Chain A
Amino acid sequence: MNNTVIRRIICFFFSLILSLSLFVISIAVTMQFTVVNKDFLINQLSISGYHVKAAEYTRKSISDLAFVGGVPSDIFDSVVTTERVQSDIYNIFESAYEGKQYSIDKNSLKSEFVNTVDSYASENGIEITEDTKNNIEHLSELCADTYLNCINIAGLNMVIGALKQPISFMGLAMGGAALLCLVSITMLFLVNKYKHKFFRYISYSLCGTFLMITIIPGYFYLTKPYLNLNISPEYIHSFINSFIDDTLKTFLGIGIFFVVLFISALFIVNLFKKRALQKGYNERHKDSLV
């Protein structure tokens, strides 16, 4: 094996290492901006209209119960307000990010439902017997349970805990990848006699990273298999969709950044190649092959 082939293999190897390291850094950066970022998640709640839809759904579920309970369907609308639902949802998500469980006082909520029915009964001159009192208690208990079921997401703390797991080793991964990038660039610089060849390998790496960061997220973004997620109610479904959509967009955004770098590298390759040709560089001379 002659020196040229060995040099090419070395260049290929370090370009690959550089490409993979840049990919790791890109993933880490994307995750910092998305899945492990509390503000991103909270922002998704607003974008997907989560609390508004959750409030509507909760009111609908509770109004069904109210109807069955013989009171007007909209009687509990003053208890289940959009502001209340929004505040509870934000507290639940914020607490989950802090590793805590946010708890809503069920008894106080239940008494609000009881008081609402009592007021309705007194306004309409309906006598409340001992039996009716128990029935109202039962209705209010179910309404409070329905509220809690609609607001809480089963396993939210576990999911957020899992999403936060990468934080512990992200710093190490980014540091390691940055070091490998530095080593690869140095090696490519040292092995290549001509600057345009050095930048050519850099451009291969940048293009490789662009492909890695774009192909799978791009495929999912275009085909959107997550639209068929069997998760209900609809507000959780649209929140998850919006969350995945924006995470994929961030990946594609970083992909665009690499395209720009790749195009810049191509310009630099041409620039240095012209300079090398002016200095007498012969492309097909065997000493100039690397």
Chain B
Amino acid sequence: MKIHFSSNQKHTLKNLLAYICMPVGFCVLGYLLIYTVFIPIIKPALSLSEMFISDADFKTGEDLTSIFEDNIQHEESKDTVNISEVQIPSFGTHYANISIPAISVEAPLYYGDSSAALSSGIGQYNGSFMPGFGRPILVSGHNNSYFNSLQYIEAGDEVIITTNYGVYKYQVTETKIASYNDKSAYDLSAKEETLIMYTCYPFDTLGLTSQRFFVYAEKISGPEIV
């Protein structure tokens, strides 16, 4: 069906169209002009904004989360675990529990040793490995909370780390007192699975100390990640 407009109607329509097209045209031309003139500023600014703006919702980085499931039944006989079954935790995630029965330590283990993680449990340095990878695991805790009783630990004591993918047992081999900046106290590039636990030393004192109490434990059981 064809619509017929009278001459007056056509004129009114043209006027109306002009009220839409002219401003839109000005706007497009204006933006093009700005873009052309300011392109040396706009491009780096956009690239920079991509660095700072993420698709995910804003997180302060201090929020703790958990992926640990308490009620999993683990097969004792399992020697290996496929890496696809292992969920790699993000920073500040409770992914395991650590217990030392001999000195009554029972605490959540967080991936990352932020102040929030250390206030809520034991923190694992995120530059070290998770249990099962056959590499060193470096964990720390405050000496006036979860790791206060670490002062009573002895060689031969058992440390158990329970994760979603397996239970890992370690046996304490030695303890050592070292300076906080003594890099020889641990070697994260070592090819063996050593659990290194440390806390501030001396225990029960005022202020921040410059020494650390290190506990070394070797793996005795737990599935390897393949």
Chain A contacts to B: CB under 8 angstroms: 12, 15-16, 19-20, 23, 61, 64-65, 67-71, 117, 121, 126, 128, 131-132, 134-139, 142, 200, 203-205, 207-212, 215-216, 225-234, 237, 283-284
Contact = CB atoms under 8 A, between A and B. Distances in A.
Contact of A210 (B23, B57, B144): B23
Nearest to B10: A284
A127 to B, nearest CB: 10
Interface of B: 7, 11, 18-19, 22-27, 29-31, 33, 49, 52-58, 60-62, 115, 118-119, 142, 144, 200, 204-210
Contacts of A207: 19, 22-23, 26
Chain B CB count within 10 A is highest, among A61, A207, A225, for A207
B200 A68 contact: yes
The DSSP consensus for interface residues of chain A is: helix
A177 B1 CA distance: 50
Contacts of A135: 205-210
Given A69-B207, A132-B205, A229 B53 contact: yes
Nearest to B116: A64
B119 A212 contact: no
Contact of A142 (B30, B205, B208): B208
Contacts of B206: 69-71, 117, 121, 126, 128, 132, 135-136, 139
B115 A70 contact: no
Among all A-B residue pairs, the 3 with the closest Cβ atoms: A135-B207, A208-B26, A207-B23
Contacts of B26: 15-16, 19-20, 204-205, 207-209, 211-212
B112 to A, nearest CB: 15
23 contacts: A19-B23, A19-B26, A23-B30, A67-B142, A69-B207, A71-B206, A128-B206, A135-B208, A136-B206, A136-B207, A137-B207, A138-B209, A138-B210, A139-B206, A139-B207, A142-B208, A204-B19, A204-B26, A207-B26, A208-B23, A229-B52, A229-B58, A234-B60
B23 A204 contact: yes
Contacts, number: 124
B99 to A, nearest CB: 23
A68 B23 contact: no
A233 B27 contact: no
A12 B26 CA distance: 9
B188 to A, nearest CB: 23
Given A61-B115, A71-B206, A132-B205, A16 B60 contact: no
Contacts of B208: 65, 68-69, 135, 138-139, 142
Contacts of B23: 19, 204, 207-208, 210-211
A284 to B, nearest CB: 6
B22 A208 contact: yes
A19 B19 CA distance: 14
A195 B29 CA distance: 26
A228 B58 contact: yes
B42 to A, nearest CB: 11
Nearest to A27: B34
A139 B58 CA distance: 32
A132 B54 CA distance: 46
Given A70-B207, A135-B207, A283-B11, A16 B29 contact: yes
Contacts of A132: 205-207
